[in-house]
Amino acid sequence: MMHTFEYDNLKLKHRELRDQFPTSLSLRTHRALSWLQRSEKENEDLDTQFILLWISFNSAYAHEIQDIRTFSERRTQLNFIHRLIDSDKDNLLYKLIWKEFSKSIRLLINNQYVYHPFWEFQRGSITEEQWKKYFENDKAVAQKALSKMNTKKILAIILDRLYVLRNQLLHGGATWNGKVNRDQVRDGTNLMRNLVPIIIHIMLESGNELWGERMYKNLCNCLSLTP
């Protein structure tokens, strides 16, 4: 990861710019940075580091929901990613995809254990033939998205994989430090280590964009930003 996107530099930028931002953006990036900093202390524990990085990501994208009946977390994530890409003047997210595609992204896309239809097959909801067909089609879509520089599409595919891993860990569907899921935890954590700081950087660089109201905004009177 480039030096610019390390925690210390991002926090310095946040201190310089936060007074110019809406309170919502200042607090969301503050929260995201706090979890990013904590994640850096868990290099030996990838399960914990992935969870901390996901919380940092969640702090950045989550906003107040007007109607919980129509809420879709996946849709919220995708809308957020689209806004990020539209604000990404330096194409940092696409450059990250190129950098990481031969590493964690390719491995995640080819890993059946973070592919939702595979688990639908395990539950008996679809056939083995169906999930394998979906899997091959989605891998082809990812390759096409990369070749066409369709950052939105490939990030959507990556988030689908990461979301499955997130659910496995947070909902008790995996063993801590388990050998069975080491590949996906390793690759998912490697990707999040690079993705989350860039997301925060883009938000700080685009303080005039509409990022939505922060979650739990009524807590703001009880919280203060660190110096």
pLDDT in tens, 133-153: 999 999 999 989 888 888 899
Segments in the chain forming alpha helices (H) = 7-17, 23-39, 46-61, 73-87, 92-100, 106-109, 116-122, 128-147, 151-170, 182-205
Segments in 148-217 forming alpha helices (H) = 151-170, 182-205
> Which positions ≥6 away from 21 have C-beta within 8 Å?
29, 207
pLDDT of 74 reads 73
Which residues of the chain, if any, have pLDDT below 50? 1, 64-71, 214-216, 218-224
Nearest to 163 by CA among 119, 101, 102: 119
pLDDT of 225 reads 53
pTM of the model: 0.85
| In contact, 55 and 49? CB cutoff 8 Å | no
Residue 48 tokens read as 């914990």
